[in-house]
Structure 1
Amino acid sequence: MEGIYGVFVFIIGSILGSFFNLCIFRIPSEESIVFPPSNCPKCKSNIKKYDLIPIISYLILRGKCRNCSEKVSIQYPLIELLTGILFTIIYLYFGFSVELFLYLVLVSVLIITSVIDINTGYIYERVSLVGIIAGVVFIVYKYISSGEMLTYILGGVAAGGIIAIIILLTNGMGWGDAEVAFLCGLFLGLSSSILMIFLSIVLGGIGASILLVFGKKSRKDAIPFAPYISIGGLIALLYGEGIVKAFLSYYGLY
């Protein structure tokens, strides 16, 4: 049954991924994400429901608009596939639970925020706010169910605070990055938040080096950091406890 549920979660994730694409393209231009319905940016024709099947429709139409043959960005099926995969992984780790649905909100916010940051270099407060609200709900739930609360509050403060200090000292990031780190920390707790920041800095350094080597960015260009915080946050969410325990055990502290 777990396999069947996993397929179901993947399908739901890919469907939501289609909606996330809409958010990714419309939020930066301050368009409504509700109206009008999905349409071709060139010919403006509404996309038929049978052409909105995640991933499959893109393959059937060979990445083109049915009406005007305008090329459709490969981003659409990639985001649908990524969302389906991440939703399934989170489900397999946490099963059906209140935490699962809150973690899925976190993943959703990180996907939208990261891709918008890559495309535009901006992080939008209205998106971050959804994640922060979900984080507060998560903390309340954890307090009610297990009495835990302080570690998650400290996680948010520590993660957001460290990025804020880096911004003040180097001006190498934007305040939106601090928002993303803060909302991730609310879900992770203190130790996993510290791990997230460490991983994001390491991954960010590797990513920046690759972009510089291949000439995609210059030393003067801003490099989106939200994707690296997101990747670090997801790794910390899934493996943080084990990594922290292994580190402490190695040094005889656990």
Structure 2
Amino acid sequence: MILYPAIDLKDGACVRLLRGDMDAATVFNTDPGAQARAFVDAGAEWIHVVDLNGAFSGKSENADAVSAILDAVGNKAQVQLGGGIRSVSHVSSWLERGVSRVILGTVAVKDPDTVKAACAAFPGQVAVGIDARGGKVAVEGWAEATELEVLDLARMFEDEGVAAIIYTDIDRDGALQGVNVAATKSLSDAIATPVIASGGVTSLDDLRALKTAGGIAGAISGRALYDGRIDLAEAIAVLKGKG
């Protein structure tokens, strides 16, 4: 399993939200580049970046901060980016700027053909973000609920070459209540596409539970890394089977 430390960007700063509420943001670092360097120095192989403002507006709003992260990381780690990316040309522009993998969320629901076209154009470099509340998919920065089931959306892209499904349980995101291992495992078992767990990763025990469940490709953690509940280097060792 791969651990993806998260950098969520709001107004140029590294923040964490509580259950996706933009009004419940805690600023942890005003220098995203420095935060990315700290993660890489601790052994991170990937950095998970989300443009929160962009997720609501439908366009990149924190481009300068993302560029600072890319500059800080260099060739020492890879960056996956989501939030407000809604077209193939937008995917292309970020890949050209050094992002290794682009995450498509809202557009996967509202215009799935765009996701399929992006996957065809950039094999292995497009992930689909599926954010769910009560088992139903939410879009537009989690502000808009749908009646679409998580598994139905995931299966829509099963044969399109999606690099990964990033599955977020919104009700647990930033709440430090533990990861939804059962739901993540169920999704992973039902599809061939690799699944990355997100939302509620609070402790090393959460990471061990995900690893023990089997079949889960990775996990994203944010708040627990920032507040010291999880030591990144130790967590990476655990997921590599060394702890």
TM-score (norm 1): 0.27
1 or 2 for the larger relative contact order (CA 8 Å, sep ≥6)?
2
Larger Rg: 1
Quick check: which one's helix share is greater? 1
TM-score (norm 2): 0.28
Quick check: which one's strand share is greater? 2
